[in-house]
Homo-oligomer: A and B are copies of this chain.
């Protein structure tokens, strides 16, 4: 065992709750509300997917020119003027987090994060030694001004795990705060196309008139995660370094994946395909919400998510309940969920909250899964709070 010979950052590696829970979630018969897996019914038929022999050779680290162009056009269509040469194709948006952390985060680098936020981002920044500055969008201006973080990581649209959405005014204020504080803005936008009602979605980075920023999204939610493909767009000053880091990480992303995604996105049925996907998820969201009302109305509060894949629940009990401690009982009963703890930079023990995914489970399993889960939470609360029982 050579632990004493490892890099200091190795001591900051912790087993991922996602991976642990997902490995349980894939057991036959398990009803999983834990992960963020898309509904497999949204995936294209494999017979419709094609690529070319030339895709089998090495390719450019930046990504395929046709896909970079497509991404740039799509973004320009939102009224945001970026160029294809600012686009870097990624092997999924998790890779964007790795590249940005490598570029910016040293031991002790201050990184502002929403509280709660995407747990796998927390893990990566921590690996590189980040000191977290948790912020709330309501008070972000003062947090940035006071703490002067080097990097700020935000999921402004259908946030993970809370599903909240920043208003346009909040987006403008966040961009201004970063500009004033010389804070690099890292905007993660994986769910923007999973939108079930009108809401503000303009990229915060598009409000940045100066300063450095990285905006990223993924094809995992709208095409298929198994292809491992995403992209980032960034301010021109950061592009050369991110490109070098991309090359050092994996030379380039799968050209087969890039061709498959391009063919799907440029198909004349692409718009229809996305509309169908939104309809499917909206129906599942509403069905899940109705089922939650039946079983969790007296137990927890939540907001109807305007987009994305998650419900974020807060237990009504005033007793501090660490929802992670209820997970093993849930798993034994054939249901998984994601405890709130892992989404907090400070790893608070009893957050009284948890995340439920509604996309990957079949609608007919909602009732069984949620009724089981409600019983477990009731028992858990009763055990920790006997006077209520």
Given contacts A10-B103, A104-B6, A249-B95, A56 and B224 within 8 Å (CB-CB): yes
- Residues A91 and B58 in contact, CB atoms below 8 Å apart: no
**CB < 8 Å: which of B10, B127, B240, B256 contacts A256?**
B256
Which residue on chain B has the smallest CB distance to residue A23? B60
Q: Is the CB of B212 within 8 A of A2?
A: yes
With A40-B53, A226-B256, A254-B254 already in contact, 8 other A-B pairs whose C-beta atoms are closer than 8 Å? A10-B241, A18-B247, A46-B56, A59-B226, A92-B250, A123-B248, A228-B250, A256-B260
Instruction: Give chain A interface residues in 214-248, CB to chain B under 8 Å.
Output: 220, 224-228, 237-238, 240-241, 244-245, 247-248
Identify which of residues 344-386 in chain A touch chain B, using a CB-to-CB cut-off of 8 Å.
Answer: none
Q: Is residue A132 contacting chain B, with contact meaning CB distance below 8 A?
A: no
Interface residue ranges, A against B (CB under 8 Å): 1-3, 5-10, 13-16, 18-19, 22-23, 35, 37-38, 40, 43-46, 50-61, 91-92, 94-95, 98, 102-106, 109, 120, 123-124, 127-128, 150, 182, 184, 211-212, 220, 224-228, 237-238, 240-241, 244-245, 247-257, 260
A61 touches B98 (CB 8 A): no
Taking a contact as CB atoms under 8 Å apart, the answer to whether A57 and B45 are in contact is: no
Residue of B nearest to A53 (CB): B46
Count copies of this chain in the complex. Answer: 2
Q: Is the CB of A245 within 8 A of B13?
A: yes
Among A23, A59, A226, A260, residue most surrounded by chain B Cβ atoms (within 10 Å):
A226
**Neighbour of A184 across the interface among B2, B18, B212, B248, CB < 8 A:** B2
Point out the residues of chain B lying under 8 angstroms from A104, CB to CB: 5-7, 10
Inter-chain contact A228/B23, CB cutoff 8 Å: no
Docked Cα-Cα span, A272 to B62, in Å, equals 35
The 7 listed contacts between A and B (C-beta, < 8 Å) are: A14-B244, A16-B244, A55-B226, A58-B220, A92-B250, A226-B256, A228-B255
Q: What is the CB-to-nearest-CB distance from A49 to chain B, in angstroms, rounded to a whole number? A: 8
Kindly list chain B residues whose C-beta atoms are within 8 Å of the C-beta of A58. 22, 35, 37, 220, 225-226
